């Protein structure tokens, strides 16, 4: 039995039932693929259903307000995905008269759509013969063929792209692409795959060479940096201070509490003596109610975060927005702040 046929046969009895797999609508497929990037299906499914309920088609997304979209995205992270989708929706409206393009070379030109997503939409929506290459596919191919070339190297990217296309079932590219991704997710898992029941076990080079645990290989390129963030929830009666971030960084255009960033882990006394804190608080007329600490890991950053709850009799004069509790619930915040505010509301 060929590699592709074995994968498809496995899929026929093991596939999870997911809403976007029951449709050939390119919009629904696109939304699902973007949401599921860097996201487990168990978490992403609820986001997908809420997103489609709010924006059921491309015209509705193209007309959406950024705050609405970011609020729905809150907690998923990688907010540039949501902003790119809004931009791409407008591209389709303006360039293709609102009709999602049906050719790979047009799809891949849309904002935020790379080769993987373009291949997924092309095959799932239009039955075009383009192989998907995501983390699951890379893991399956590297193990089955026993390839030790790093998957994120220039040589590795070319090799695995070629290999994926060679294995593609051209008669049914949609089913094959879904099958190999599902196979990597459920069967050929990153850790402790159950090779005893794998339909490819007799021909898998990694299994026969005892290298399952070390494949796929990846080059280490990112230098992880530490950042120290001090957020202040400043309360006057039922009013709070927030600000909207600028158009830079991974949290751009989200809302946040007043922030002081330090180069190292500074104590309370040092932070409260900074000119930034004095500008925020407007003097010494405040009461410190609590301090909470948390850590948040990103791909290339370790965030060490401290939240200070302060009560004041008057707000200082500055450019911060004054909002109430219901506003805090309706606006989109970075995940660490969102979690803190959820706990704060319960107090």
| Pair (159, 279) in one structural domain | no
39 and 183 fall within a common domain: yes
Residue 194 lies in a domain: no
Residues 19, 156: one domain? Answer: yes
pLDDT digits (tens, 9 = 90+) for 28-46: 999 999 999 988 899 999 9
Residues 161 and 300 both lie in one domain: no
Tell me if residue 33 is catalytic: yes
- Give how many domains the chain has, as a whole number: 2
User: Considering the domain boundaries, does residue 200 fall inside one?
Assistant: no
Q: What is the CATH number of the domain that holds 337?
A: 3.90.79.10
Residues 177, 44, single domain; the answer is yes
Residues 30 and 117: beta-carbon distance below 8 Å: yes
- Residue 50 within any structural domain of the chain: yes
Judgement on whether residues 89 and 159 belong to the same structural domain of the protein: yes
The stretch 44-64 carries a mean pLDDT of 97
pLDDT digits (tens, 9 = 90+) for 258-295: 999 998 999 888 999 888 998 888 766 889 999 999 99
Encode pLDDT of 180-238 as tens digits.
Answer: 999 999 999 999 999 999 999 999 999 999 999 999 999 887 688 899 999 999 999 98
Q: Are residues 253 and 320 in the same domain?
A: yes
Looking at the structure, tell me whether residues 162 and 268 fall in a common domain.
Answer: no
List 33, 66, 166, 314, catalytic entry: 33
Residue 220 lies in a domain: no
User: Does pLDDT of 150 surpass 90?
Assistant: yes
Range of the domain at 297: 225-346
Q: How many CB atoms lie under 10 A from the CB of residue 129?
A: 18
- Specify if 262 maps to a domain: yes
Q: What is the CATH number of the domain that holds 173?
A: 1.10.340.30
Task: Say yes or no: 256 and 176 in one domain.
Answer: no
Residue 333 lies in a domain: yes
pTM: 0.80
Q: Are residues 237 and 341 in the same domain?
A: yes
Do 269 and 315 share a domain, yes or no? Answer: yes
3-class DSSP string for the chain: CCHHHHHHHHHHHHCCCCHHHHCCCHHHHHHHHHHHCCCCHHHHHHHHHHHHHHCCCHHHHHCCCHHHHHHHHCCCCCCHHHHHHHHHHHHHHHHCCCCCCCCHHHHCCCCCCCHHHHHHHHHHHHCCCCCCCCHHHHHHHHHHCCCCCCCCCHHHHHHHHHHHHHHCCCCCHHHHHHHHHHHHHHCCCCCCCCHHHCCCCCCCHHHHCCCHHHCCCCCCCCCCEEEEEEEEEEEECCEEEEEECCCCCCCCCCEECCEEEECCCCCHHHHHCCHHHHHHHCCCCEEEEEEEEEEEECCCEEEEEEEEEEEECCCCCCCCEEEEHHHHHHCCCCHHHHHHHHHHHHC
Within-domain flag for 136: no
Taken in order 23, 28, 30, 35, the sign of the CA dihedral is: negative
Residues 101 and 42 in one domain: yes
**What pLDDT score does 248 carry?**
75
């Amino acid at each position: 039995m060929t590699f592709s046929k074995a994968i498809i046969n496995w899929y026929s009895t093991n596939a999870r039932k997911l809403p976007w797999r029951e449709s050939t609508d390119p919009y629904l497929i696109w939304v699902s693929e973007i949401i599921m990037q860097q996201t487990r299906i168990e978490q992403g499914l609820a986001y997908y259903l809420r997103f489609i309920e709010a924006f059921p088609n491309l015209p509705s997304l193209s007309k959406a307000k950024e705050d609405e979209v970011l609020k729905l995205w809150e907690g998923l992270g990688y907010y540039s995905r949501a902003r790119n989708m809004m931009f791409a929706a407008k591209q389709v409206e303006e360039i293709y008269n609102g009709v999602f393009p049906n050719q790979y070379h047009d799809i891949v030109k849309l904002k935020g759509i790379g080769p993987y997503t373009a291949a997924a939409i092309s095959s799932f929506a239009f039955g075009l013969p383009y192989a998907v290459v995501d983390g699951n596919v890379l893991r399956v191919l590297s193990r089955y063929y026993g390839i030790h070339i790093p998957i994120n190297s220039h040589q590795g990217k070319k090799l695995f792209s070629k290999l994926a296309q060679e294995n593609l079932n051209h008669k049914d590219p949609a089913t094959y692409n879904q099958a190999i991704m599902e196979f990597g997710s459920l069967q050929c898992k990153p850790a402790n795959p159950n090779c005893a029941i794998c339909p490819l076990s007799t021909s898998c080079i990694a299994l026969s060479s005892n290298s399952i645990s070390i494949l796929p290989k990846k080059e280490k390129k990112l230098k992880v940096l530490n950042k120290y963030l001090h957020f202040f929830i400043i309360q006057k009666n039922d009013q709070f201070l927030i600000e909207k971030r600028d158009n830079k960084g991974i949290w751009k255009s989200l809302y946040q509490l007043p922030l002081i960033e330090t180069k190292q882990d500074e104590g309370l006394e040092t932070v409260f003596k900074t000119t930034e804190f004095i500008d925020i608080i407007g003097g010494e007329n405040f009461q410190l109610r609590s301090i909470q600490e948390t850590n948040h890991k990103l791909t290339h950053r370790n965030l060490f975060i401290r939240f200070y709850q302060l009560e004041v009799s008057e707000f200082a004069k500055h450019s911060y927005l004054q909002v109430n509790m219901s506003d805090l619930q309706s606006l989109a915040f970075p995940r660490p702040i969102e979690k803190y505010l959820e706990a704060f509301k319960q107090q």
